[in-house]
Structure 1
Amino acid sequence: MQLAKLDDTSDYLIAPDPKAVRLTRAVAGTDHEGAAVVATVVEERPLTIFLNGQEIVTAMTIGDYPDYLALGFLRNQGMLRASDEITGVDYDEELETVVVRTARKTDYEEKIRKKTRTSGCAVGTVFGDMMAGLEDVSLPETAVRTSWLYALSARINRTPSLYLEAGAIHGTVLCHEDKPLVYMEDVGRHNAVDKIAGWMLSEGVSADDKILYTTGRLTSEMVIKTAMMGIPVLASRSGFTAWGVEIAQQVGLTLIGRMKGQRFVCLSGEARLIRDTDPATVPLEPRRAGRKSAE
């Protein structure tokens, strides 16, 4: 499968691929009055990832950008280095597999024996030591303007999406200043992050001046993945966990939570936050605005 090319004609360089995602209209149940409820739902599909012939994991996903998901997952697990020469990424839709090949020989049999079930949606998995590799992380002290955060929150929350059509899905957006660049969705926020990591790896995109926005909770897994990607700022409209905040402070990640309308909470990296906008001038978020969040 050829890696997708940038599409400069769309609002985002890369956005969810409606041709690859299966939506089903099905009777979901009955409402409070006993009437049948018909809803549009996203179908989950398994995707098995191989690295140089070794089976690594089977992930449940919505089906778009399997190549980016595989590359990003392997990169964020420390199984694929940025300097690796990738010799092939082959997706077989019928077998629901992606095989990533590199010039470097790999053997992760010992590592994949230790699995950590994380708090990630759709049940995330981390192989080996969750903290491995963080000691080598050195994030740039990138300044963040509050005007960027307000603009991103307003735009992303109202962007047409699979979530607004079917629900039960998370979105993650790679941004530069106040401009969203790459928008990915999946049943698990960790899958959406991995897709962005895979896109950045395949396109050779620098992380130094980027912001990662997510609709999901700021858990330890989300913070670790963002740091491993080298992105200095992580923002969410949802809540956060104590360990997620602790790790962000440890690695020097600017962490912004509960970002809605006029308000947000800066949990780490306050010194890098430039408050250039009076919150009172920011429009309130409508009660029926697109996305909800998990506090």
Structure 2
Amino acid sequence: MLKKGCPDEYPITLVVNGYEVAVFQLTNQDLEDWAYGYLFSEGFIGSPEEVEEVEVNEDTGTIQVSLNNDFEPEQMFSKKKHYTAGCGRGVTFFSMTDVKNFRKVTSHEKFALSYLLKKRSEFAQNTPLYIETGGMHGACIIHEDGSISVREDIGRHNAVDKIIGHALRKRLQPDRLVLLTTGRVSYEMLSKTAKFGFAVIGSRTAATKQAIQLARFLNIEVVGYLRGKMATVYTSSGRVYDDVSNSTVAAKPIERGEVLTIFN
């Protein structure tokens, strides 16, 4: 058996306008992307232009962020914190009720399951930290032209924040993008998806019942177990169609309320 290296995790303190938000367990890579993504996902900023400066100090394990918006720390930090499930535990200030008030997605883009499966395979081949250690999560954006961007982290939600931060800094528009993740799609992952405006999120593993309920409410397509030639489509917004299953007609639409699992 080939020996793999061990994944690294670092305690990183996020400080916004002089106020300490929390200490996060992160992989020491793409930290500026993570700061932008986390601040946007949690409502500290509404656009990258509201970030004046990000200073990453690896020696002290801190990220100092200066915002030029009307950020009110007392109001933000008085909100109840919700700790995320799973590895590399994080914190979110949005409850499920808050997420239901996010703007619903209106994208009319459509994607074939075969295309998502192909891109999921390409994503897996472009995760060097996972290949090296066997213990990392990744997040990937599929661009309109079919190219991909990938970020990795010890925590699944951190990886998603990193790729969202990358998209923000590149001024990418979410309408025609697809988000892929290696981790479980829980409600806080769905929250990040909705906040940025992705219309489709796919994962190599499952989605939780709460995430599926929120996705249906916000008109987001959720596809799980993207592996080889199998997938589970949990939602029915019409953005993903089945062109894989031998037992159904090619390009079969997914009916409302149907959970479609494809094995081929």
The normalised TM-score by structure 2 is 0.84
For 1:279 and 1:86, the matched residues in 2 are separated by 50
1:178 Cα deviation after fit:
7.5
* Equivalent of 1:53 in 12, 18, 24: 18
1:180 Cα deviation after fit:
4.2
What secondary structure is seen at the aligned counterpart in 2 of 1:100?
Answer: strand
Question: Structure 2 counterpart of 1:82, which letter?
Answer: S
Does the CA-based 8 Å contact 2:9-2:25 persist in structure 1? yes
Change beyond 3 A, Cα 1:111–1:70: same
Question: Structure 2 counterpart of 1:148, which letter?
Answer: Y
Of stretches 255-264 and 267-276 in structure 1, the one that deviates more from structure 2 is 267-276
> Over residues 119-153 of structure 1, what are the superposed CA-to-partner deviations in whole Å (9 max), with x where a residue is unaligned?
14222211253542542313123212223212112
What secondary structure is seen at the aligned counterpart in 2 of 1:234?
Answer: strand
1:54 Cα deviation after fit:
1.6
For 2:226 and 2:239, the matched residues in 1 are separated by 17
For 2:140 and 2:176, the matched residues in 1 are separated by 14
Identity of aligned residues (%): 28
Question: Structure 2 counterpart of 1:65, which letter?
Answer: D
What secondary structure is seen at the aligned counterpart in 2 of 1:271?
Answer: coil
Corresponding pairs, count: 245
Does the CA-based 8 Å contact 2:9-2:27 persist in structure 1? yes
| Pair 1:44-2:21 in alignment | no
For 2:157 and 2:48, the matched residues in 1 are separated by 23
Counterpart for residue 138 of structure 1: 104
* Equivalent of 2:233 in 262, 266, 269: 266
Counterpart for residue 206 of structure 1: 173
For 1:92 and 1:77, the matched residues in 2 are separated by 22
Question: Structure 1 counterpart of 2:137, which letter?
Answer: H
What secondary structure is seen at the aligned counterpart in 1 of 2:5?
Answer: strand
Counterpart for residue 127 of structure 1: 93
Change beyond 3 A, Cα 1:128–1:144: closer
Does the CA-based 8 Å contact 2:220-2:237 persist in structure 1? no
Counterpart for residue 255 of structure 2: none
For 2:205 and 2:99, the matched residues in 1 are separated by 26
Counterpart for residue 222 of structure 1: 189
What secondary structure is seen at the aligned counterpart in 2 of 1:105?
Answer: coil
1:206 Cα deviation after fit:
0.6
RMSD of equivalent CA atoms:
2.3
Does the CA-based 8 Å contact 2:127-2:150 persist in structure 1? no
Uncovered stretches (5+) of structure 1, i.e. residues with no partner = 1-36, 282-295
What secondary structure is seen at the aligned counterpart in 1 of 2:148?
Answer: strand
What secondary structure is seen at the aligned counterpart in 2 of 1:198?
Answer: helix
Uncovered stretches (5+) of structure 2, i.e. residues with no partner = 251-264
Change beyond 3 A, Cα 1:44–1:83: closer
Is the helix fraction higher in 1 or 2? 2
For 2:95 and 2:123, the matched residues in 1 are separated by 34
Question: Structure 1 counterpart of 2:57, which letter?
Answer: D
